[in-house]
């Protein structure tokens, strides 16, 4: 077991927003467990970048929809560093579906999106909670989506799954108080690989926003860190949407 001051666990931590969060936390002095499902090479690259910053990191493969794999992942974090101070649940999937075409929404689409986006969030928060309680001033931030606020996004099941994450965040904030603060960030349009093949749609949306810009992963990472260290905030959903929902 190696001694470090602060330990963070970031799901979906090897790419996009998750990678930016992992690097932000490393820059703030955290050892980081980068949890990934399929993006092994990117997770290892993120770990290498963190190590270049002088911080400790490791990549852990886990299907967050499978509670047993979450238990094993958290056990590896505790085995290596002996504690856990913050959890950022960022893992998510979507399906790009015409929003008005309900016939395309099959049981398989519901099952896959809810298993990762909702059940995965609960699994990670549930399994991490006993270890977070052992430390002072601990926090969880779940990455939701503005789609969960507006009801509109890449697909109807995705928007519903993220609305459920927002509700879960509020419920967990009550269930885990006073020991653990639980908040959620709801990004609007963010320039990530999710928009590959849909760049025209992304540009159109961002141009109509009051701030006339799309967020970068680093923008969201900075806001996540702010929630992690804000001692008076719990049970909140922060809209990081460049004014979309004004």
Active site residues: 158
Q: Please answer whether residues 166 and 186 qualify as being in contact, where contact means their C-beta atoms are separated by less than 8 angstroms.
A: yes
Write the DSSP symbol of residue 62: -
Write the DSSP symbol of residue 189: S
- Assess whether the previous peptide bond of 178 is cis (omega < 30° from 0): yes
For the chain, state the CA radius of gyration: 17
* Beta pairing partners, 143: 185
Distance CA 32, CA 19 (A): 11
CB atoms inside a 10 Å sphere around CB 61: 14
């Amino acid at each position: 077991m190696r001694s470090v001051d602060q330990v963070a666990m970031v799901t979906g931590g090897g790419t996009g927003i998750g990678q930016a969060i992992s690097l932000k936390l490393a820059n703030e002095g955290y050892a980081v467990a980068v949890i990934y499902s399929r993006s092994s090479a990117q997770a290892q690259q993120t770990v290498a970048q963190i190590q270049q910053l002088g911080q400790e990191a490791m990549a852990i493969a886990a299907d967050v929809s499978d509670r047993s794999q979450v238990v094993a992942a958290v056990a590896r974090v505790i085995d290596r560093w002996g504690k856990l101070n913050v959890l950022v649940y960022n893992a998510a999937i979507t399906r790009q579906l015409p929003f008005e075409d309900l016939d395309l929404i099959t049981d398989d689409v519901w099952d896959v999106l809810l298993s990762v986006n909702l059940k995965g969030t609960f699994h990670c928060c549930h399994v991490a909670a006993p270890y977070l309680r052992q430390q002072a001033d601990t926090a969880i931030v779940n990455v939701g989506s503005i789609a969960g606020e507006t009801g509109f996004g890449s697909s109807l099941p995705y928007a519903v799954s993220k609305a459920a994450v927002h509700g879960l965040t509020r419920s967990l904030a009550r269930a885990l108080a006073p020991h653990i603060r639980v908040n959620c960030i709801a990004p609007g349009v963010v320039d990530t690989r999710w928009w590959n093949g849909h760049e025209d749609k992304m540009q159109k949306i961002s141009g109509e926003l009051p701030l006339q810009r799309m967020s970068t992963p680093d923008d969201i990472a900075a806001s996540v860190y702010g929630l992690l260290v804000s001692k008076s905030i719990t049970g909140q959903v922060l809209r990081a949407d460049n004014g979309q929902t004004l």
